[in-house]
Amino acid sequence: MSARSGKESIIHQLELPRTGVRTRAEFETLPTVPRGWAWELRSGRLELSLMPVTFWYSRIVCQVLDFWRGYGYEAAGDQYVADSGFARGEIGQHNFVADGVVFQPGHRPDKHSTTHAPANLFAVIEAVWQPAQVREAIDKLRVYSMLGIPHFWIVRGDHDSDDLDGFVSMYELVGEDYKLTGSRLVSELTPARDVVSAN
């Protein structure tokens, strides 16, 4: 998951020493982070990142991906995607991480793959429930459209409610931009109107 920039934004970036190595003693002097945050190594920097893998996130992403799998699509999510991401144009340090991905019809990733070329992706799923996360997901519309990914679903949850459902905004790539083509609750997803044809 990427670092979030909401009211809890306490993101630090620390350049690595010239050797590229920090000793255990140096690592142990880093500030203690609040629950839900973790140090991550990104592009040669240590960054403090929010890791919001809550029950709602896990449940809602699995529910959406299971929906796609039920109709013949390969899909990946949860820790698999959070640990690997997929390549932004090419394999390397500039990967984007998504909460879930759905692969092109007929594409079956190698079981050892850790990154996925954009051409193999049919849909990207983002699950959000804080204003900063919503803004971040909307910002990704431009990047995903540049990569040519046909579908982008943003699932919003209600942070102040005990409801475990989510509201899906469905975007489809038309030309070079995404257009909103539908929206409904995750619990209301039905194959007749929601599974997108590969044509």
Q: What is residue 178's predicted lDDT score, i.e. its pLDDT?
A: 95
**Which residues of the chain register pLDDT less than 50?**
1-10, 79-84, 89-94, 198-199
Residues with Cβ < 8 Å from 79, sequence gap 6 or more? 53
The predicted pLDDT at position 15 comes to 57
Which residue matches tokens 């960054």? Answer: 47
Taking the C-alpha atoms of residue 123 and residue 127, their distance in angstroms, rounded to an integer, is 13
pLDDT at 139: 79
Edge-to-edge strands of the sheet including 37-42?
Answer: 13-15, 45-50, 37-42
What is the DSSP-derived secondary structure letter of residue 2?
P
Looking at residue 8, its pLDDT comes to 40
Query: Up-side HSE of residue 101: CA atoms within 13 Å toward CB?
Result: 29
Nearest residue to 150 via CA among 91, 83, 68, 84? 68
pTM of the model: 0.68
Dmax of the chain from CA atoms? Answer: 58
Domains in the chain: ranges and CATH: 13-50 (no CATH), 55-194 (3.90.1570)
Query: Is residue 137 within 8 Å of 108, Cβ to Cβ?
Result: no
Residue 183, pLDDT score: 94
98-153 confidence digits (pLDDT tens)? 888 999 999 998 888 777 778 888 999 999 887 777 877 887 788 888 888 899 99
| Per-residue confidence (pLDDT) for residue 198, from 0 to 100 | 44
